[in-house]
Amino acid sequence: MADWPRFPNAPITEALLDIKAKLPAGVDLTRLATLQGAVKDLYPARRERSSWQGGFQVKPGELPEVFPPSGEPDGYLFTSKDGKQIVQARLDGFTFNRLKPYDKWESFRDEARQQWERYREIATPEIVSRVALRYINRIEIPLPMKDFREFILTTPEIAPKVPQGLAGFFMRLVIPDEKSKCIAIVTQTMEDPNERVLPLIFDIDVSQEAAFHVRGEEMWEVFAQLREYKNEIFFNSITERTKELFK
């Protein structure tokens, strides 16, 4: 494992540890709600979570068919007193969210694991089918700035004879890693700049799909690999000038 630097002013706005699981047929929302008893001391606020679906479909020779958004409750969000940590207990799995400020991997993983164990006891998942780590970074690039490459090495490229000004972009890359069998979804975009800074969103979501035993160590070993892959992408994408912003 590489020794990655830690920054006192890390740009992480949210870190997520996500476990997709298959629950037995008898486990419903009423059962998931009982998790509150186990987590209430640290996560006192409970909120219902809905999965929103909607969209439209186009078939040859037919008018587009619109499906209005519809929400079905699929779990609960338990929020910590300071609002910085959220445990999501859903019918399709578990997510632990940590909002800024992010401390370090070890404390993030340990807290997520502790809450997963509580979820596991109540939801009794049969199998884990996917594990994922997602880190959303918001890098405040100081203005004026001539080229994104001064700060980040993966950037949208505009043909040389086209005007080079960029008022906005949204870039999504899906990058498989043969070595670790992980997939990274890297999303880069920019928020509206002010006079001082241009906020660049650098979102790295790494995952692995496989069948993991719900009690085993294996998936936690995979989380360590996911973190390595995430860090490889992050640290190999930013420049020395960017690192200075985080010190």
The CA distance from 216 to 218, in Å, is 5
Tell me which residue of 79, 99, 98 sits closest to 89, measured CA to CA.
79
- Nearby residues of 97 by Cβ (< 8 Å), 6 or more positions away: 14, 15, 16, 85, 86, 88
Give the C-alpha separation, 141 to 212, whole Å.
Answer: 40
Helices assigned H by DSSP within the chain: 29-33, 35-39, 105-123, 218-237, 240-245
Select the span of 42-50, 115-123, 144-152, 160-168 touching another protein (CB under 8 A).
42-50
Instruction: Show the site string, 62-81: x = touches another protein by CB under 8 A, - = not.
Output: -xx------------x----
Q: Which of 68/165 has CB closer to another protein?
A: 68
**In angstroms, what is the minimal distance from the CB of 33 to another protein?**
11
CB 13, min distance to another protein, A: 5
Work out whether 154 is an interface residue with another protein (CB under 8 A).
Answer: no
State which of residues 1, 59, 82, 161 lies at the interface with another protein (CB under 8 A).
59
Pick from 55, 144, 163, 168 the residue near another protein by CB under 8 A.
55
Stretch that binds another protein, among 119-127, 161-169, 184-192, 231-239 (CB under 8 A): 184-192
- Beta strand ranges found along the chain (DSSP E): 12-22, 45-57, 65-79, 85-90, 93-99, 127-142, 170-177, 182-190, 197-212
> Where do contacts with another protein occur on this chain (CB under 8 A)?
13-14, 16, 44-48, 55-61, 63-64, 77, 86, 97, 99-100, 134, 136, 170, 172, 185, 187, 189, 203, 205
